[in-house]
Structure 1
Amino acid sequence: MNKFAIIVAGGSGTRMGAPVPKQYLEVGGKPILMHTLEVFHNTLPDIRLILVIPEKDFGYWADLCGQHQFEIPHSVVNGGNSRFQSVKNGLESIFQEEGIVAIHDGVRPFVNPSVIRESFEVANKSGSAIAVVALKDSLRKLTDDGKSFFQERQNFRLVQTPQTFLLSKIRKAFEVTELYHFTDDATVYEHQGWQVELISGNPENIKITSPEDMAYADFLIQRKNK
């Protein structure tokens, strides 16, 4: 099958408080984005990688690739004003009719290769595969009148990426007008009336958004290199 991965990295990184967007910050001696692209390439060498970043960053990214001698093949696509639009731009850059496409946050460099492989296998059979992890903490639901109620945590999951789909189905799903509740690709897919298939993610697959996340990322890199 044709295999694709759309790596979405259009954020400005304001929560990080760094001089450059978070996706370009270095962990383990190279930008976060390079780690993310590497894990997909190393897991599935025949995959086509599509990196979605703001057009104004194209030159900066090219300079980073030169500085770090980063030679993993990938195409670069202009991002949109929202994640929905960025993913849609990535999908529109794929000219093949059939295949499997993983959609992944650029600042999740610690996805386990086994999760990537399983996501493609499950999506090929059922149409979708959404990586999730169980909650460890207790959960309470807040109400408008200031009250809160206990929720059974075993009934909930934290959603990660990759979110992987049959190309034909997710392309059709993204033909709709963007809605406020489209918080991820799974919600866009569900809007068609299709049920998503869940797979187990890995807890280390954090979305790096804060200085605390960077400290944890440094720890994970050091542990990986031991």
Structure 2
Amino acid sequence: MGAGLPKQYLTLDGRTLAEHTLQRLLAFAPLEAVVVAVCDEDPWWPTLPVAGHPRVQAVTGGASRAHSVRAGVARALQLGGEQAWVLVHDMARPLLRLSDIQRLLEQCGPQGAILASPVVDTIKQADADARIAATLDRRHIWRALTPQLFPARALLEALQDDPDSLTDEASAMERQGWKPALVAGHGDNIKITVPEDLALARFYLSQQQETWS
């Protein structure tokens, strides 16, 4: 992002991305707790009012996404027991709709599920010289979003296998032979990655009109 602070603390319409994201998760009543992975030296997290919410707990994150998720899942197991399920969500996705969380729960099978978006563009596969090697059938290609929903114990064990190579939780489960369901989510569930994403998020936020439906 080129900013002087982690992107989850950038401001969107007067509140940090972290506050937007957590507000939506906390608004979904079936979630018993929200576990946030933060750095021990993080000076911004303790200043947020939501950090003191009774359903929010912080754990020390790790050097990679997978290490941070493992820490959060381990705490979820402590809180919910061996039968607990966990939703893993990116803090930099502040526009998650409650209806998408509900749909994810309703369509999740025994091997878990993730929110995803069918690809509408034509997708090209490149060779080592950045030349087109093939045109892929977009009917079978989806963009992975979050949340991603899995049994906590199974996910924790899956994340122990070469965690630094993982880019999402479904990848870890796939390596264990699982076939998570793909659940279509809204396209405005964007991840803030580059500066122009903030302007797009501001537009989507205005369109949602705080209904999050």
2:69 matched residue in structure 1: 87
CA distance in 1 between partners of 2:129 and 2:193 (Å): 31
1:131 matched residue in structure 2: 115
TM-score, structure 2 normalization: 0.88
Q: What is the CA distance between 1:110 and its match in structure 2?
A: 1.0
Task: Pick one of 7, 17, 31 that aligns with 2:16.
Answer: 31
Q: What is the CA distance between 1:40 and its match in structure 2?
A: 1.3
The reply to whether residue 107 of structure 1 matches residue 87 of structure 2 is no
Listed as ranges, the gaps of 5+ residues in structure 1 are: 1-15
**Structure 2 vs 1, CA of residues 72 and 154 (structure 1 numbering), >3 Å: closer, same or farther?**
farther
The residue identity in structure 2 corresponding to 1:165 is F
SS at match of 1:115: helix
The reply to whether residue 211 of structure 1 matches residue 199 of structure 2 is no
Listed as ranges, the gaps of 5+ residues in structure 2 are: none
Higher mean C-alpha displacement, 149-158 vs 100-109: 149-158
SS at match of 2:48: helix
1:5 matched residue in structure 2: none
Q: What is the CA distance between 1:34 and its match in structure 2?
A: 0.9
Task: Pick one of 34, 55, 59 that aligns with 1:77.
Answer: 59
Task: Note if contact 2:64-2:164 (Cα within 8 Å) is conserved in structure 1.
Answer: no
Provide the alpha-carbon RMSD of the alignment: 2.0
User: Structure 1 residue runs of 4+, over 6 Å off?
Assistant: none
**Structure 2 vs 1, CA of residues 119 and 145 (structure 1 numbering), >3 Å: closer, same or farther?**
same
2:36 matched residue in structure 1: 51
2:143 matched residue in structure 1: 158
CA distance in 1 between partners of 2:40 and 2:188 (Å): 30
The residue identity in structure 2 corresponding to 1:37 is L
Q: What is the CA distance between 1:114 and its match in structure 2?
A: 1.5
2:159 matched residue in structure 1: 174
Task: Pick one of 32, 48, 55 that aligns with 1:64.
Answer: 48
